[in-house]
């Protein structure tokens, strides 16, 4: 039987068998507690540069379809599961998980004790790791030590759209929006389309001047991968857009807004990844279950003199999950209001953003 190995930078070794493409890959090893949505997770650009561990033990049981993909390709560097279902059963299924991973050249491993791996990452924190069907553990660990670290890389340039493209409104067009793509998931423009928005999606390096020249009703900063501290060129661009148009920031876009407002971010020990994170909206005292995928968070103390107000907090650890800036017409969330996967309880954030736009039009 073929063997595969997962090694962590601390020397821990997990044995398993190959899943998907044969080969050797490195990445930051993270875990997600989502029980479903593995197709959306694999195609989420925010997982670029990471080896994703699914904590739910059976993955692939409803197969892969053509509708649930969240971007133009798979971005995860590697995939770790306890058991991959070889015979999916669902009327929408067109491919198995194995076939999907082969199609996108993703190296995976199954048969891993994902409970033990998750405990390790929760205790030690996320760390670099590597999967291989070619190298033995000592050789793989040596190879891993020579790979670039996750925190040192700019993955946004890797995942952003190479050319602008337009997502048309469904039915009557009510608003025209610009979205800077740091790693957008398709469910964001899908939801906006259903709310009457035509969204033009731009490469991450697009200048503020070009965005403003087209006189959009509002601007959105998308989710994406990596450490926001590495994205100075984006932060400077965002500063030029402040107070020009209503702004919505999501996940990485939210963190970058924090930097543009004079704040800082810090790395979480093992991040928030999954579809079951409780978040409290401090403005209404309502609690929502949210979809999350991030390894960094805004330091609330760094925003004290920014004029921004903390609007949402995570009820598990108290970290910042949302900010608003009434004077600059900003709404920003650390979690994913578009879900995909996860609960769809938070679409109200998009409606709140469109309300900001409408309010601006009425006061013009």
Q: Is the peptide bond before 217 cis (omega within 30 degrees of 0)?
A: no
Spatial distance between the Cα atoms of 225 and 237, rounded to a whole number of angstroms:
18
Q: How many CB atoms lie within 10 A of CB 326?
A: 11
The DSSP call for residue 12 is -
Q: Which H or E run includes 216?
A: none
Q: In what order do the strands lie in the sheet with 320-325?
A: 165-167, 197-203, 175-181, 218-221, 247-250, 330-333, 320-325, 309-314, 265-281, 286-298
Q: Among this protein's residues, is 251 annotated catalytic?
A: yes
Spatial distance between the Cα atoms of 316 and 274, rounded to a whole number of angstroms:
13
Spatial distance between the Cα atoms of 268 and 257, rounded to a whole number of angstroms:
18
- Catalytic: which of 251, 294, 312, 325? 251
- Catalytic: which of 9, 28, 98, 338? 338
**Strand intervals (E) in 204-336:** 218-221, 247-250, 265-281, 286-298, 309-314, 320-325, 330-333
Nearest to 241 by CA among 330, 363, 112, 168: 330
SS3 of 273, please? Answer: strand
- Catalytic: which of 272, 277, 294, 336? 336
Positions annotated as catalytic residues are 251, 336, 338
């Amino acid at each position: 039987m073929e063997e595969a190995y997962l090694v962590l930078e601390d020397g821990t070794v997990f044995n398993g068998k190959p899943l998907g493409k044969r080969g050797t890959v490195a990445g930051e090893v993270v875990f997600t507690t989502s029980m479903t949505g593995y197709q959306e997770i694999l195609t989420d650009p925010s997982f670029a540069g990471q080896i994703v561990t699914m904590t739910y033990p059976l993955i692939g049981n409803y197969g892969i379809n053509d509708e649930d993909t969240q971007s133009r390709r798979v971005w995860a560097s590697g995939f770790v599961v306890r058991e991959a279902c070889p015979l999916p059963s669902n009327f929408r299924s067109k491919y198995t998980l194995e076939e999907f991973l082969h199609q996108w050249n993703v190296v995976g491993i199954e048969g891993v004790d994902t409970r033990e791996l998750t405990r390790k990452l929760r205790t030690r924190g996320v760390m670099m790791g590597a999967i291989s069907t070619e190298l033995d553990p000592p050789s793989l660990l040596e190879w891993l030590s020579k790979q670039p670290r996750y925190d040192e890389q700019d993955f946004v340039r890797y995942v952003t759209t190479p050319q602008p493209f337009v997502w048309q409104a469904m039915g009557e067009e009510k608003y025209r929006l610009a979205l800077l793509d740091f790693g957008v998931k398709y469910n964001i423009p899908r939801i906006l389309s259903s709310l009457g928005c035509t969204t033009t999606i731009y490469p991450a390096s697009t200048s503020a001047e070009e965005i403003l020249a087209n006189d959009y009703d509002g601007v959105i900063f998308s989710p994406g991968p990596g450490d926001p501290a590495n994205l100075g060129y984006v932060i400077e661009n965002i500063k030029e857009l402040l107070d020009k148009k209503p702004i919505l920031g999501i996940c990485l876009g939210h963190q970058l807004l924090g930097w543009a407002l004079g704040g800082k971010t810090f790395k979480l020990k093992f991040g928030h990844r999954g579809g079951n994170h409780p978040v409290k909206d401090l403005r209404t005292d309502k609690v929502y279950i949210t979809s999350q995928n991030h390894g960094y968070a805004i330091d609330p103390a760094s925003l004290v003199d920014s004029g921004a107000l903390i609007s949402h907090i995570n009820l598990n650890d108290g970290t910042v999950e949302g900010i608003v800036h009434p004077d600059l017409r900003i709404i920003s969330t650390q979690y994913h209001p578009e879900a995909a996967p996860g609960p769809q309880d938070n679409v109200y954030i998009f409606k709140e953003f469109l309300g900001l736009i409408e309010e601006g039009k009425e006061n013009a």
